Amino acid sequence: MKKKILLGMSGGVDSSVSAVVLQEQGYEVIGATMKLWEDTEKAIEDAKKVCKKLGIEHHVIDCTEKFRCRVINKFISEYENAKTPNPCVECNRYLKFGAFYEKAKELGCEYIATGHYAKTEYSEKYKRYVLKKSDEEKKDQTYFLYYIPKEEIEFIIFPLQNRASKEETRKIAEKNNLEVALKKDSQEICFIPDNDYQKFLQKYSSQKPKVGNIVLKDGTVLGKHKGLINYTIGQRKGLGISYKEPLYVIKLDIQKNQVIVGTEQALYSKELIANEINWLAIDQLKEPLKLKAKVRYRAKEAQCTVYPIENNQVKVIFDEPQRAITPGQSVVFYDEDIVVGGGKII
C-alpha cells in the first residue's frame, strides 16, 4: 500500500513540481492549501488546477484566524516595538509545520511535505533526524525553517532537496504541462503583495507614527524622522539628512523616539543576544559551542561561539564583526550543512 503524504501547495511552481516528484517516488499525495489572508484565492485556484491535472485530492485549510494572531499581529507588534520581524519564520513555526502537521494526522498521512529548498535525513553525528541545507545553495531556505519542531523532522520530506536549480524545477513543470510552469516566484512577504510594508502598517497598526529626532550617538540632532516603523538597521536611503560622510541607521531608540545614525563602521558588531531559542540537532546547550551563524537570510555564515545564558537565551560572539545585526531578525546556527538551531535577536 502506498504511503500517504500531505503536501502543502501554494499554487506556485515549487510545490506543484513537488507533487509530481512525490508521485514518481510512489507516494499517495494529498494536496492542501492554507487560506491565510485576503489574497489567497488565486493561490487556491492554481493549486486546485494542478491537483486536478495530476489526479490528486485537494483540501483547503482555513488558517485565517491563526495567521492573523500568530503572524500578522506579531509582525505589527514587532514594528511597533522598533524591531524588524521575519514573518516567514512565524508562519513556518505555527502554521506550515504546526496546523499543517495536525491536518496530516487527521487525514491519516504518515508524512508531510512542502516545496521548500531544504533536506531532512538521519545524522550519525547527532543520532537523530536533522534539517540540512539544500543542494541548491542559492535557494536554500533553512534560515526560515529553524523553528520547526524537532519531533516532526523525520516525518518531513522536501521533494526538491536534490534539484540542481530553479530552472530544472520549471522544466519538470513544463514537461508535465502544468500551467504554473512560468508563474513568477512569490515575494518574500505574502500578505504585502506590493512590498510596501509602511503602507500596510499605516492601515493595520493602531499606533500612528510619531515624528522624532534623527541623532548621532553623541546626541547631535541632524534632522527629523517620520516614525520609527519607517526605519531599519543598516538603512541609508530616505533619511533626509546631510552630513560630511554617508550615515546609516545603527539603532532605533523606542524610549526616546530617536533614530540613531552613524558611519558604516558603526554598523559592525561582534556580539548579539537571542531568545526564543529552538534547538534541532541538540536538546539543550549546556556549554559553549563553536558553530557558524547567519544573522539574516542573505548574510554569509560566519564563525562564532554560542554561549548559554539564563532564561533559554544565548550570547553569540563572532570571530569577525557582522554588519547590521538587527533586533527582530533571526540568528540561525549551522554545523557544516546541518541546522543546529536558531533564535530571535534582541
Active site residues: 91, 190
CB contact at 8 A, 318 and 303: yes
Please state, in angstroms and as integers, the Cα–Cα distance from residue 9 to each residue in 13, 37, 144, following that order: 9, 15, 17
Return phi, psi of residue 241, to 5°: -130, 160
Query: What is the chain's length?
Result: 346
Grid coordinates of 174: 513544463
Please state, in angstroms and as integers, the Cα–Cα distance from residue 275 to each residue in 95, 100, 290, 332, following that order: 21, 25, 18, 12
Task: Look at residues 104, 113, 158 and name the one whose alpha carbon lies nearest to residue 131.
Answer: 158
Non-local CB neighbours of 314 within 8 Å, separated by 6+ positions: 273, 274, 277, 285, 306, 307, 308, 343
CB contact at 8 A, 29 and 56: yes
Residues 96 and 89: their CA atoms lie apart, in Å, by 10
